[in-house]
Structures are given as C-alpha cells and as structure tokens.
Amino acid sequence: MKNKPQLSSWQIWNMAFGFLGIQFGWALQLGNMSAIYEYLGAEPDKIPILWLAAPMTGLIVQPIVGYLSDRTWNTLGRRKPYFLVGAILASIGLIMMPHSSTLWMAAGLLWILDASINISMEPFRAFVADVLPKEQHTKGYTMQSFFIGIGAVLAAVLPYIMIEYFGMAKTTEEGVPTFLKIAFAAGGVAFFSSVLYTILTTKEYPPEDMDAFLKMKEESKGVGNMFKEIFATIFDLPKVMKQLAVVQFFTWLGLFLMWFYFSTAVAVNIFNAPSPKSPLYADGIAWANLCFGFYSVVTFIFALMMPKLATSLGKKKLHSICLAIGGLSLLALYFVSSKEMLFVNMIGVGIAWTSILAMPYAILAGKLPPQKMGIYMGIFNFFIVIPEIMATLFFGPFMNNVLQNDRLSAVMLGGAMLLIAAVAALFVDED
C-alpha cells in the first residue's frame, strides 16, 4: 500500500504491545540463563559456548522467516501468522527451561526457545515498516522500545519479588530454585497473551497488486529459490546497511559480554558469593535482575524523548552519543563499591539500550524496498548474531587465560566495544 494512513498513538501502542511479552521472555533468559547454567554445574569459562543456541538460531531462522513472511498473505495477515506460531512455541520453551535436570538439557531447550522467539520477533521489525508511513517509522520503533523496557522491568523484578516478598527459598539441593521456575512460567503466559493482543487489535494491509504478489510467490516456490534469493540479497546490501553492520557488530558484541557475565559478576564480585550454592549468590542474581529492570525503566522513559531528540540531533548522532554513554557506564563498573551504586551505571546502559532498539531500524527502514522488507530485516539481524557467535566460540579461552575468569572484567570489555560502535555510528550515511 503506497499511501499508508497515519496511525494514532493508540493504534501504534497496539501494534507494539506484543514486544512487551517478547521482551519479558527474552529478559528472563538474558538475566538468568548464565545462572541456570551455573546452578547445573557450568564453570564461568564454559558459559559462552552454552549460549551458542541464541546466535545460531537467529542466523538460520531470521532470514528464512523474513523471506517466508514477505510471501505470506492469509486470513491472519502477512507477519501475524509468524507472531502466533512463535509465541506458542516460545511460551512452552519458557515454562520448560528452569525444569532442566542437566546442563545439556538446558542448552538444548535454549535452542528451541531462541528459535521460537526469533520466529515471533523478526517479523515485528518489518511490521512497523509495513504498516506505518515513513514519517512515523521512528515513532513506531521507539514505541517498541517503550514496551521492550516495560517487559524487561517486569521480568527483572519478578525473581526479586519471589524471594523478598513471597519468601521463596534462595537455594535448592539440586537443579534450579523454585523462584526461577515460577518466574519463567509467568514469562510464558506474558509472551503469549501480549502477542495475541497485537494480533487481535492491529490490521495489516494486503499486497497492493495481489496478482503480481501471487505470481512472485509462485515463481519463487521451493527451498532452492529461497536460499538463492537470500544469498543474492546478502551480496547486494544497500550501502547504509553495510555501514550500520559495523556499528551493530561492536554494539552487540559489547551487549552479549554484559549479558553473559553481569548477573554472575554482581553475585561474585559485589555480593562476594563463594559458590552458586551460597544464599549470597541468589541475592546477587536477584539484585542483578533489579539492575536490568532499572535500566529498562530508563529505557521506556527515554523512549518517550527519542523522536524529538532524533529530529533535533539527527538519528546517527543521537545513536553515537547514546552508545558512548552506555560504554562509559559499563567501564565505570570498575569503581563500584556497593550494590546501590550499580543503579547509576544502569542509567547509561538504559539510554544506550533505548537507542540500540530503535535508531538503527529507523535509519534503515525508509531505504529498503517494501516487498523485501522481511528478508532485509532478517539479514540485518546477522550483524547481531555474528558477534554473538564469535563471543560464544572464542571468548571462553580468553576469559579463562587472559581475564582469569573475572566476570566483571568481561562486562567492562563489553563497554569498550560500545565505545568503538559509537565512533563507527558517526560514519553512517543517514540521508
């Protein structure tokens, strides 16, 4: 549809609401997966390789889902069928995850869970470009950031509430504590219900020329044609996507180092927990989740300011500033001497996270052909998953031999990566 009508704030709210549940589930995983692995016996230098499921499923699933959703139209719409299937599978995966009895069972479930989250999440990026006119893209992506912030807050405070207000046990003789099992079950319910709300309240537009759409779909049938087009698209990326790829690479390398080790760094470096069996370890993990929740509060507050800031500063300059603030905040963890001081650092992380979720997509969306929006967004996410693959495969030996398994040093190294991304952002051709 060439002349898309502008949507009201309430309509944009509805179309972004599904991200609340997606981020609820995603944040539970990011905040607690390393702890689950350590509960099941993993050593710190083995943590990165156990996270391999996330980037590998993203690398495989996202371009395929993007390609298929570009060629889908049925009673549910174009992207919404994928929202629904992914939500059902991800909800089941979230409920099952903390019931893992062995390390490799948890790692296997993470493959299933991440594939399912990707099925729902990838089309949401194309959804904004499909439904909104170009002048509302920034508002649409920042509304997603708003709900990502809310979902992450809910996920982050839940383990703390389970321990502090419901008095649930911090430790268990074997396996994962009950407070995490209940938190993950709540995440499964939130994931499915919020995605279903977006499906029921938001209208998608059919292809402008249905005959041409059906012809294109017929001509591109088959697995061979699918991979042929995916690879052809990879080797013919727009210039701005290549420039953003550098920014995304260092951004997400930094983020993954933070997510790999922040929770356990708080438990070990700040709370001085001697082992995962110590009550101090559970206290540290719960506090780290609160820190994630706090930066997510910053995210949904700062998201309200982003459209005006992007207009006044320009998208790439704003993104560079936000990345620099986030990087410096992670490096400043070196000076933290109490658990309360962590919240100051999390303000900067929240500012960076808001921009990471919105600005690259807002810069990119208006420069992509609408009929291939899904596949381009899927390929763009390569530059998220490739740095994670590198971190999972190669950071373990570096962690063990260079950083001496110091979790806090790994998080600070992530801050340095964000600073490199901030410099790279200045070289993006925004217009």
231 — phi, psi (to 5°)? Answer: -70, -35
As a whole number of angstroms, the distance between CA 36 and CA 98 comes to 7
Q: Is pLDDT above 80 for 213?
A: no
Cβ neighbours of residue 418 under 8 Å, at least 6 residues apart?
250, 251, 254, 255, 323, 324, 326, 327, 330, 352
Confidence of residue 422 (pLDDT cuts 50, 70, 90): very high
- Please give the Cα distance from 309 to 419 (Å, whole number): 20
pLDDT in the model for residue 36 = 87
Name 211's Cβ contacts closer than 8 Å, sequence gap at least 6: none
Higher pLDDT, 319 or 32: 319
Average pLDDT rounded to a whole number, residues 234-246? 88
**Local confidence band at 156 (pLDDT 50, 70, 90 cut-offs):** confident
The whole-number pLDDT of residue 350 equals: 93
**Is 1's pLDDT higher than 70?**
no
pLDDT value of position 67: 82
Task: Collapse the DSSP code of 3 into the 3-class scheme (helix H, G, I; strand E, B; otherwise coil) and give the result.
Answer: coil
Q: Encoding tokens for residue 383?
A: 């530059």
The token duo for 61 is 């699933």
Nearest by Cα to 18 from 114, 94, 84, 66: 84
Runs of H (alpha helix) within 43-175: 47-50, 53-70, 80-96, 103-131, 137-164
Residue 418: φ, ψ to 5°: -65, -35
The whole-number pLDDT of residue 54 equals 67
Q: What is the pLDDT of residue 361?
A: 85
Closest CA to 428 of 317, 313, 309: 317
pLDDT in the model for residue 294: 87
DSSP-assigned letters across all residues of 192-261: HHHHHHHHHH---PPPSSHHHHHHHHHHT-SHHHHHHHHHHHHTT--HHHHHHHHHHHHHHHHHHHHHHH
Task: Specify which of 133-147, 192-206, 261-275 reaches the highest per-range mean pLDDT.
Answer: 192-206
Average pLDDT over residues 228-255: 89
Collect all residues with Cβ–Cβ distance below 8 Å to 346 and sequence separation of at least 6: 291, 292, 294, 295, 298, 329
Minimal CA–CA distance to 283: which of 233, 238, 343, 339? Answer: 339
Query: For the segment 49-81, what is each residue's pLDDT rounded down to a tens digit?
Result: 887 766 777 777 878 888 888 888 888 888 899
Which one has a higher pLDDT value, 255 or 139? 255
Taking alpha carbons only, the member of 264, 266, 268, 290 closest to residue 34 is: 264
Residue scoring higher pLDDT (14 or 299): 14
- The residue assigned the tokens 């370890």 is 281
What is the identity of the amino acid at 424?
A
Residue 223 has pLDDT above 80, yes or no: no
For residue range 371-418, what is the model confidence (pLDDT) as tens digits? Answer: 777 788 878 888 888 888 888 788 888 888 888 888 889 999 999 999
Residue 21: which residues within 8 A CB-CB, separation 6 or more?
87, 151, 190, 191, 192, 193, 194, 195
362: Cα within 13 Å, side-chain hemisphere:
26
Asked if residues 201 and 207 have their Cβ atoms less than 8 Å apart, the reply is: no
User: Residues 114-122: what's their mean pLDDT?
Assistant: 84
29-33, 194-198, 259-263: segment of lowest average pLDDT: 29-33
Torsion of CA 368, 374, 379, 383, to 10 degrees: 80
**Distance, CA of 241 to CA of 423 (rounded, Å):** 16
CA 52, distance to chain mean position in Å, is 15
Tokens standing for 52?
Answer: 């391999």
* 3-class DSSP assignment, residue 352: helix
Q: At 73, is the secondary structure helix, strand, or coil?
A: coil
**CA–CA gap between residue 292 and residue 19 (Å, rounded):** 17
154 pLDDT higher than 70: yes
Which residues are CB-contacts of 75 (< 8 A; sequence separation ≥ 6)?
A: none
Over the stretch 21-48, which tens digit does the pLDDT of each residue have? 998 988 888 778 888 888 888 887 777 7
- What pLDDT is attached to residue 112? 86
Domains and CATH numbers, the chain: 9-425 (1.20.1250.20)
Q: Give mean pLDDT, residues 363-368.
A: 78
Name the pTM for this structure: 0.72
